[in-house]
Amino acid sequence: MFDILSVVSGKKKHTQSGWTSFNAVCCIHNGESQDKRGRGGIKTQGSDWSYHCFNCGFKASFKLGRNLTFKARRLLSWFGVDNNTIQQINLESLKHKNIEQLVQDRSEQKPKHKIKFDSRELPEGARLIGSSDKEYVDYLVQRQLSTDYPYMITPEETGRQARRIIVPYTHDGEIVGYTSRYMDSRAPKFISEQQPDYVFGMDLQQPDWSFVIVTEGIFDALSLNALGVLHNTVSDGQRQLIESLNRPIVVVPDQDKTGLQLIDKAMEFGWGCSIPDWPDNVKDINDCVVRYGRIATLISIVNATETSNIKIELRKRKLKHGLLGSR
């Protein structure tokens, strides 16, 4: 497993209490002058570590089997660790827990929902993806999908489910279904086990987020930690789940014929809707993230958000006209 002390440059001092001190790398990123007095410290226990700067007060930690926190990722980047290596560290960490434990971790301190779903089994032979699964990791990176999610893969010998990336569906700490995607051009491209009224991404939502994005596809949802209804319409049960978050809702439809139906649902429910003026070769959120990045995509969604049904209808007509013109 990754040794954080291996990326600490310069003079290091080891203390009897188990800390290794050195010039902190965080101060200049937190409004302070460069540390020259050895005020940064790391304490390790096996593969776990804690970082504390006694100058600017920045803290970060890592525990094997858990996702790298935002602060831990920032610290590693300040040490000069590139993003691909950070993703590999995260994947290696997750291999030290099974899928059930990871799903439970993701649901901790999240409110439980009134709608319940039955537990479901994952495909036979499915296992957590690791940094050594280069083909699969490269695919996630290419699609600009966060490696924080507990993706799984199936080995070659599992027949119809072979060579697939599996995205487990989770709800209130349980695995309630999945979708699997071929890594090549074989059909069917997707095989899914989905229960009625399920909404992907409810366990990803944070209580301090100011609004929620609703989209159709699972990769679109994973691109921005959004919700995926996994269809071009919204059931009454899905509406109940989404509205239970008690925050403004913004629907971002695919910019194709099927997306028009999702726009109609947004207007029916009184939700906001965003139809950004993306180029013709950008049809959904994931397309936009791959080409322009997450921040630019989010800004384009916010700037194009409408809450008036009249304005949403005008945007819909513009999209529909563009679709007819592209035939």
Q: What are phi and psi of 207, to 5 degrees?
A: -65, -20
DSSP of 215-254, one letter per residue? ESSHHHHHHHT-EE-SSSS--HHHHHHHHTT-S-EEE---
CB-CB neighbours of 86 under 10 Å: 18
Q: Where do the domains of the chain lie?
A: 4-94, 119-195, 196-327
Q: Please give the CATH architecture assigned to the domain spanning 196-327.
A: 3-Layer(aba) Sandwich (3.40)
Please list the pLDDT of the chain residue by residue as tens digits (327 residues): 688 888 888 889 888 888 999 999 999 998 888 999 999 999 998 889 999 999 888 999 998 887 788 889 889 999 999 877 887 888 777 776 666 665 665 555 455 566 889 988 888 888 888 778 888 888 888 888 876 788 888 877 667 777 889 999 988 878 899 999 887 777 788 889 999 999 999 988 888 888 999 999 999 999 999 999 999 899 999 999 999 999 999 999 999 888 999 999 999 999 999 999 999 889 999 999 999 999 999 999 999 999 999 999 999 998 888 775 554
- 45: enclosing H helix or E strand: strand 40-45
DSSP state, 278? Answer: -
